[in-house]
Amino acid sequence: MLRRSYGGATALTVKMVAAKRGLKLEQHGSLWDFVDWLSIESGDEEFFKFFGEANALHRDFYENEMTHKAIEVMARDIEKLITKLKEVD
């Protein structure tokens, strides 16, 4: 459940930041495009890293391969990502 919750929260937060800029992200690829743009604009590559981890957790919801410890570590990074996204102007 944790994997799905973090994946959903991340996607919604990315969409919220995009909406503040007048953008509507409707496809999964558009989430990546927007995170790519945020990373370049801010010069902060952690947007890439943390969003990739959120994506991995989302995939693992269906695959169920990750250990509980791996999920815990990635969840902390995803919390950092959500905080960073909320701080974006």
pLDDT digits (tens, 9 = 90+) for 18-34: 999 999 998 878 999 99
Domain locations in the chain as residue ranges: 2-87
Instruction: Work out the angle between the directed axes of helices 28-42 and 46-63 (0-180°, nearest 10).
Output: 160
Reply yes or no on whether the pLDDT at 87 is more than 80. yes
Matching residue, tokens 């909320």:
86
pLDDT per residue as tens digits for the range 37-65: 999 999 999 999 999 999 888 887 777 88
Q: pLDDT over 70 for what percent of the chain?
A: 96
* Alpha helices (H) along the chain: 2-20, 28-42, 46-63, 68-87
